[in-house]
Structure 1
């Protein structure tokens, strides 16, 4: 792992993903998580303040990035509900099948190398009747914005830790074996349109 990946990138991601428009998006979806929760891409724990602690029995915080683990463990130790940090990927999840009530993923599907495989792994851990909650940025509906996303992405990815600008989030969720039951979209205010188109909602495993 390079100096940039270990020391610079975590700070940059924390600042970008902790800005006000994204905090407001997190507040729309994270409080709905309940029971035993599996969070994909826990990072530095930016979702912790948005959980409803009265509804969460335990959180499994999945964070495979070595550069993020120290911050993840520090924040987990201070949380108002039990958190176990798992330094592994969803594709190779150690949790038993049908062991969690909610899977949550926010602003992480853009960087996971195989997002479909990651969600498939998480789906296997969901109990019958469990739900996937998601909030992500992705490919925009407007062709003019899409053109800019395609132009910027090759430069953006190495700077932003592998972040893709052109992923079709609803298509990824569906391809992983979920049925989307709720979906909302918008361009985030005070954000560049090429990075600001958001999808959020809830899905059930097929």
Structure 2
């Protein structure tokens, strides 16, 4: 597993996550990020070309994979904004409370071991009024697809670096304290077991309730 984990898996991950259907979605969601951005699961830096340099001041890129970060680091000198790498998983983010204007996660929540803890950390780091922008694959709406996801998932997680096919992404985001303001769901390719996409934006749940209350005063 040593050679597979350090050499084959990073290259396979980069190749899979570079596919045209995934790149198309990155191109649509990443430019929404603004200000000081926390990207959890920066990987090999596939989102970096899609940031809008006129809107982004700084990016913190969190990822536990040294091999993938090494690929992303090669792109850092050509960027029009500051990029700082943090070699950790998302469960313990070494940033102060309210540090980020935007949190971005793309094809990341599937593989974080303690995904709820990581989402709560993102909630902690995000400023009031900030946005969680997400584009993730997960649990499909069709029962026959879900059955296949459940059947294949134990093997899939072992060969894919911990990626889960059937996490209920929207439910996890809401359970962690966020309020989803916008959500689009669809299959992004004919390979439906891995391509049901949750794409949208969320804010602090407490902030959302405050806004609603103020509107009704």
Place the TM-score, normalised by the shorter chain, in its bin.
over 0.9
Are 1:173 and 2:173 matched, yes or no?
yes
TM-score by length of 2: 0.91
Are 1:188 and 2:164 matched, yes or no?
no
Give 1:152's aligned residue: 152
Unaligned segments of structure 1, at least 5 residues: none
Tell me by how many angstroms 1:157 deviates: 0.9
Aligned-partner Cα distance in 2 for 1:205–1:89: 22
Aligned-partner Cα distance in 1 for 2:97–2:89: 15
Aligned-partner Cα distance in 2 for 1:163–1:75: 25
Aligned-partner Cα distance in 2 for 1:202–1:112: 19
Tell me by how many angstroms 1:88 deviates: 1.7
Let me know the Cα RMSD of the aligned residues: 1.1
Q: Quick check: 2:91–2:115 contact (8 Å CA) kept in 1?
A: no
TM-score by length of 1: 0.96
Give 1:78's aligned residue: 78
**1:1-206 counterparts in 2 under 5 A?**
2-189=2-189, 191-206=190-205
Tell me by how many angstroms 1:75 deviates: 2.4
Q: Quick check: 2:35–2:58 contact (8 Å CA) kept in 1?
A: yes
Tell me by how many angstroms 1:77 deviates: 3.2
Aligned-partner Cα distance in 2 for 1:134–1:37: 13
Aligned-partner Cα distance in 2 for 1:64–1:43: 8
Q: Deviations over 1:149-173 (max 9, x none)?
A: 1111111111111110010000110
Aligned-partner Cα distance in 1 for 2:12–2:80: 26
Tell me by how many angstroms 1:128 deviates: 1.1
Q: Deviations over 1:74-102 (max 9, x none)?
A: 22233232100011233211111111100
Aligned-partner Cα distance in 2 for 1:85–1:41: 11
Equivalences, count: 205
Q: Quick check: 1:40–1:90 contact (8 Å CA) kept in 2?
A: yes
Tell me by how many angstroms 1:53 deviates: 1.1
Q: Which has more radius of gyration?
A: 2
Unaligned segments of structure 2, at least 5 residues: 206-217
Q: Quick check: 1:72–1:85 contact (8 Å CA) kept in 2?
A: no
150-159 or 68-77, larger mean C-alpha shift: 68-77
Tell me by how many angstroms 1:31 deviates: 0.5
